[in-house]
Amino acid sequence: MTPASAARTATRGGQTAHADWEATRRIPRAAREANAVLAVAARDITSMLKSPSGVITALLMPLLMMGMIGGTLMQNMAGGLGFDFGEFMLVGMLVNMLFMMTTMRMTSLVDDADEAYSAELLVAPVSRYAIVVGKILGSSFMALISCLGVLAVGAVMGITLAPWQLLVFLALAPLLCLSGGALAMIVLGTIKNNTTANAAVMLISMPQMFLAGVIIPISQSSGLLGVLSRAMPMTYCVDLGRAVVYAGRSDYDAVVMFNPAVNLAAIAGITVICLVMGTWLYARSEKNR
């Protein structure tokens, strides 16, 4: 190829790339954002399905948390509570899996940065929030698989929910996953080491399992434990989940701590703050790489 023909080819290539860019920009912004969310989520889900070990772990984790820890508590400490401890624990574990597994899966952001995938996304003509929400949506897929594990372990233990209760709970699932993913962004926005990221996420997620009332009732917690339990974002997610499942029942007041409106306001406030701050930190750290 002569220098002249090479120059003409490069020019045509540049014109084509420019035309593609302009065509992309002419797509309505809402459609562009939705497409970006779905594309990022689909990539994450495909990556998870290619890793059977991760899926197996997600299914087996409830066996340890609910089957062993929860089963021991149910056999030894559930008497005289005034409500069915098994159902109390089942709802708490469903919320915990949605929140915690989404949070843990968000550590793949660090791998994306190492592969330069994040840098490619950040130069695309879409908002940073579309990228982050797509990542949270993709991460929530593994959380839903863990919920299947919770329901399976619950069935073996003789603990089930009515179909309408499951449907109402599933309607809350996107909000709970978004809350967990947004919290992870605060930590992951500035971390670029996979080992550190995993440790940091475990540090913010595991204590919540015990302080947010997932398995152990916290309505009577006072002092420092009372303050910590109410500072945990998952506390309001768990309480809201129980509020919709126990609605209209005689044991509602024994199980639910706050008004559902209070829970919704707390979850929405925490999610928005974490999402905005986390996305800003993430975009800034990628820009400075």
Alpha-carbon distances of 29 from 16, 22, 32, 34, rounded to whole Å: 22, 13, 5, 9
Pick the range with the lowest mean pLDDT from 15-24, 33-42, 100-109, 176-185. Answer: 15-24
pTM for the whole structure: 0.82
Alpha-carbon distances of 54 from 21, 91, 118, 145, rounded to whole Å: 37, 23, 22, 10
Q: At what angle do helices 85-105 and 52-62 cross, to 10 degrees?
A: 150
Q: Please give the structure tokens belonging to residue 9.
A: 């080819």
On whether the CB atoms of residues 96 and 173 are closer than 8 A, the answer is no
**What is the tens place of the pLDDT at every residue in 181-195?**
999 888 877 777 777
On whether the CB atoms of residues 193 and 282 are closer than 8 A, the answer is no
For the chain, give the percent of residues with pLDDT over 90: 23
Share the mean pLDDT of the chain. 80
Alpha helices in the chain (DSSP H): 3-26, 29-49, 52-62, 71-77, 85-105, 108-114, 117-122, 128-156, 163-188, 194-211, 223-231, 233-245, 252-255, 260-287
Dihedral of the alpha carbons of 141, 74, 242, 238, in degrees to the nearest 10: -60
> Measured between alpha carbons, how far is 240 from 100 in angstroms, rounded to an integer?
16
Length of the chain: 289
Which pLDDT belongs to residue 19? 46
> Measured between alpha carbons, how far is 106 from 138 in angstroms, rounded to an integer?
9
On whether the CB atoms of residues 252 and 246 are closer than 8 A, the answer is yes
CA nearest neighbour of 279 among 102, 55, 129: 129
The predicted model gives 277-289 an average pLDDT of 75
**What is the tens place of the pLDDT at every residue in 148-170?**
888 988 888 888 888 998 999 99
On whether the CB atoms of residues 66 and 93 are closer than 8 A, the answer is yes
Domain residue ranges of the chain, discontinuous segments joined by +: 30-287
Model confidence at 114: pLDDT above 60: no
In a 3-state reduction of DSSP, which class is residue 159?
coil
Model confidence at 214: pLDDT above 80: yes
CA nearest neighbour of 282 among 77, 38, 109, 63: 109
Residue with more model confidence, 85 or 194: 85
